[in-house]
Amino acid sequence: MLVPGWAVLILGPVIGSWLGVIIRRYGTGQSTIRCRSACESCHTPLRAPDLIPLISFLAARGRCRHCNAPIAWFHPAIEAAALAIGAAAWVADGDTPRLWVDAALGWSLLAAAWIDAEHFILPDLITLPLILAGLAATWWQQPGALTSHAAGAALGYLGFTLLNAAYRALRGHDGLGQGDAKLLAGAGAWLGAVYLPDEILAAGLLGLAGVFTARLFGRPTSAKLPFGPALALAFFALRLAIAANML
């Protein structure tokens, strides 16, 4: 490879910082490119030394250099998560072109999961391109498996759509959103139809773990919980497990 695999460790936090801007400004109407980043407390525009992912937060000891207000932990958390995604892809794929494909997939899923966790919505701007990207990646890497992956996308979407229709008929309200169905379609496009049961099982177990964790911290059991983060985590973990020949 012209670009060494370890470069993903440098790019990861930078991508995470950019994803943080997208997530923070989602639904506000603010541009993610034109509007300068600023302190969320005093609104002072940030300079280049304040924008170095992870390092600036540590150097400033988690406080704004101008007003000394605490910097939200969201920022280093999203940067560290993007770094972890890049590292996991590097371990699974090594110095191969697939590394950058899987890292980009993981970063996209991170943004989708975080937005769903905060806003209870999986944006079409992320989920729909994921379906097309999964089919394109399959055509590039395993052209003979394209039919299975296309079937996986269709089955993923139809399966969750029909399941939600049945739930709505029984309970009178939705149990799964269209975003969940589109994300599962993306998983089918990337993983193939054969791995859809594993994706649903793993996501279900992760979702149950999320419910138990919420109860542990006193959240009402009747509270609405997003399913997108569990789907996204299971999706990415299975993709890397397949790459590492663990499945």
Tens-place pLDDT, residues 95-133: 898 999 999 999 999 999 999 999 999 999 999 999 999
Q: Which of 205, 209, 186, 210 is nearest to 196 (CA)?
A: 186
Are residues 153 and 240 located together in one domain of the fold? yes
Are residues 22 and 106 located together in one domain of the fold? no
pLDDT above 90 as % of the chain: 64
Rounded-to-integer distance, Cα 116 and Cα 99, Å: 26
pLDDT at 201 over 70: yes
How many other CB atoms are there within 10 angstroms of residue 5's CB atom? 19
Q: What is the mean pLDDT of the chain?
A: 90
Which residue, of 95, 129, 162, is where some domain finishes?
95
Are residues 105 and 53 located together in one domain of the fold? no
- Per the structure, how many domains does the chain have? 2
Task: State which residues form the domain around 139.
Answer: 97-247
**Cα-based distances in Å from 174 to 142, 161, 178, 227:** 36, 10, 10, 13
Which residue, of 69, 95, 121, is where some domain finishes?
95
Written as six digits, the tokens of 102 are: 């899987």
Are residues 91 and 153 located together in one domain of the fold? no
Rounded-to-integer distance, Cα 203 and Cα 67, Å: 42
Q: Which residues pair with 63 in a beta bridge?
A: 70
pLDDT above 70 as % of the chain: 96
Which of 23-37, 38-52, 58-72, 132-146 has the highest mean predicted lDDT (pLDDT)?
132-146
Are residues 88 and 114 located together in one domain of the fold? no
Are residues 202 and 120 located together in one domain of the fold? yes
For residue 201, give every residue at least 6 positions away whose Cβ sits within 8 Å of its Cβ, in sequence order, or none.
Answer: none
Q: Contact, 2 vs 94, CB < 8 A? A: no
Are residues 152 and 215 located together in one domain of the fold? yes
Three-state SS at 154:
helix
Written as six digits, the tokens of 8 are: 């993903």
Are residues 119 and 241 located together in one domain of the fold? yes
Are residues 74 and 101 located together in one domain of the fold? no
Which residue, of 72, 95, 118, is where some domain finishes?
95
Is the pLDDT higher at 226 or at 218? 226
Are residues 9 and 68 located together in one domain of the fold? yes
Is the pLDDT higher at 27 or at 70? 70
Are residues 232 and 115 located together in one domain of the fold? yes
Q: What are phi and psi of 224, to 5 degrees?
A: -70, 135
Are residues 115 and 39 located together in one domain of the fold? no
pLDDT score, position 34? 67
pLDDT at 1 over 70: no
Confidence of residue 222 (pLDDT cuts 50, 70, 90): low
Q: Contact, 229 vs 116, CB < 8 A? A: yes
pLDDT at 62 over 80: yes
Q: Which residues pair with 70 in a beta bridge?
A: 63
Q: Where are the alpha helices (DSSP H) in 61-177?
A: 74-93, 97-119, 124-141, 146-171
